[in-house]
């Protein structure tokens, strides 16, 4: 189990993460979402032991990750822009990790070399951004870590490779019981693989739930009334946002679906439909709820 306990991280006078606490269950795929600069990458770096927290701690199976080689051996971190030396090849990089990680699986590496469309003897630095990510992922998967931390892993990948990666992640979780933490803005892809999501905003956690639970806790309702109704009618509901197009009112409401539906039906609408929300819509709704000025940004 990965526990984040009251973690605070400051860069000079700027606080990137403040008193952040949550737990990531084992053998889960955890999606870390948040606005730009919310602290997702910083959190991944703290978990992987790159950064030391200014306050609090990150514990894996009860042990702090910072300066603990044995704990760090359970983790593998792929940053949003993986580093390779000018003359590095997949084989030479594998040479380093093969020796440093006792969990390295050579058979898996050979298998992955066959799966990904990149040359293992080619200089990685000359490859495209997407291919560099694939190279990093090949090595990460060959290490067979207990925790794999992926920052913007879907960026720059073509749809086929994206599907391949999602499949490999799912296999890893199923076969090894690996916990995968993915920080990404690509919510569409996250929605496919994640079973938990955590929403970070301004260095603090806004929401941390099972994905289904997150999606079930917020609803979009399209409703038409015969006569125009005032805002006060919905006072009993936890409305996150509302938009009007002619007579059609689109409401985003937090709460139990059944309760929301019953409440609105009592108002005798001419038309009413409960629409499912995508993760992206949940994200926007949640961000809106915490004061993220979405309308201003989108205009």
Interface residues with another protein (CB under 8 A) are 11, 45, 48-52, 67-70, 72-73, 75-77, 79, 81-83, 85, 96, 99-102
Q: Of 101 and 116, which has the nearer Cβ to another protein?
A: 101
The single residue listed with the structure tokens 């066959």 is 114
Distance CA 182, CA 76 (A): 12
Distance CA 262, CA 255 (A): 12
Query: 121 and 152 in contact (C-beta within 8 Å)?
Result: no
Name the minimum Å distance from CB 50 to another protein: 3
Q: Of 92 and 278, which has the nearer Cβ to another protein?
A: 92
Name the minimum Å distance from CB 285 to another protein: 32
Distance CA 175, CA 262 (A): 44
Name the minimum Å distance from CB 154 to another protein: 18
Distance CA 265, CA 197 (A): 31
Q: Of 14 and 258, which has the nearer Cβ to another protein?
A: 14
Query: 240 and 218 in contact (C-beta within 8 Å)?
Result: yes
Name the minimum Å distance from CB 215 to another protein: 32
From residue 265, alpha-carbon distances to 93, 121, 221, 242 in Å are 62, 65, 11, 17
Q: Of 147 and 234, which has the nearer Cβ to another protein?
A: 147
Q: Of 135 and 211, which has the nearer Cβ to another protein?
A: 135
Give the three-class secondary structure for 222. Answer: strand
Q: Of 95 and 276, which has the nearer Cβ to another protein?
A: 95
Q: Of 28 and 132, which has the nearer Cβ to another protein?
A: 132
Q: What is the dihedral of CA 150, 168, 217, 208, to 10 degrees?
A: -30
Name the minimum Å distance from CB 16 to another protein: 9
From residue 112, alpha-carbon distances to 119, 135, 176 in Å are 11, 10, 16
Name the minimum Å distance from CB 68 to another protein: 8
Neighbours of 296 (CB within 10 A): 7
In 3D space, the residue among 290, 295, 212 whose CA is nearest the CA of residue 35 turns out to be 290
Name the minimum Å distance from CB 121 to another protein: 16
Distance CA 175, CA 283 (A): 30
**32 pairs with which residues across the strands?**
183, 198
């Amino acid at each position: 189990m990965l526990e984040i306990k009251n973690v605070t991280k400051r860069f000079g006078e700027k606080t990137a993460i403040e008193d952040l606490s949550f737990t990531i269950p084992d053998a889960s795929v955890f999606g870390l979402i948040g606005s730009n600069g919310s602290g997702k990458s910083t959190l991944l770096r703290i978990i992987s032991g790159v950064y030391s927290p200014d306050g609090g701690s990150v514990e894996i199976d009860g042990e702090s990750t910072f300066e603990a080689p044995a704990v760090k051996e359970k983790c593998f971190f792929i940053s949003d822009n993986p580093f390779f030396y000018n003359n590095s090849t997949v084989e030479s990089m594998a040479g380093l990790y093969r020796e440093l990680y006792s969990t390295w699986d050579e058979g898996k590496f050979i298998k992955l070399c066959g799966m990904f469309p990149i040359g293992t003897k080619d200089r990685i630095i000359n490859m495209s951004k997407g291919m560099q990510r694939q190279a990093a992922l090949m090595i990460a998967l060959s290490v067979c870590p207990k925790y794999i931390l992926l920052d913007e892993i879907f960026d720059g990948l073509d749809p086929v490779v994206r599907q391949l990666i999602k499949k490999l992640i799912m296999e890893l979780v199923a076969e090894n019981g690996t916990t995968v933490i993915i920080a990404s803005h690509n919510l569409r892809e996250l929605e496919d693989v994640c079973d938990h999501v955590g929403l970070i905003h301004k260095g603090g956690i806004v929401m941390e739930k099972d994905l289904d639970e997150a999606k079930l806790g917020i609803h979009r309702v399209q409703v038409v009334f015969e006569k125009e109704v005032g805002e006060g009618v919905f006072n009993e509901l936890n409305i996150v946002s509302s938009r009007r197009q002619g007579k059609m009112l689109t409401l985003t409401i937090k709460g139990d679906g059944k309760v929301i539906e019953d409440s609105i039906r009592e108002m005798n609408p001419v038309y009413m439909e409960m629409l499912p929300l995508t993760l992206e819509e949940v994200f926007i709704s949640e961000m809106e709820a915490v004061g993220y000025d979405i309308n201003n940004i989108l205009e």
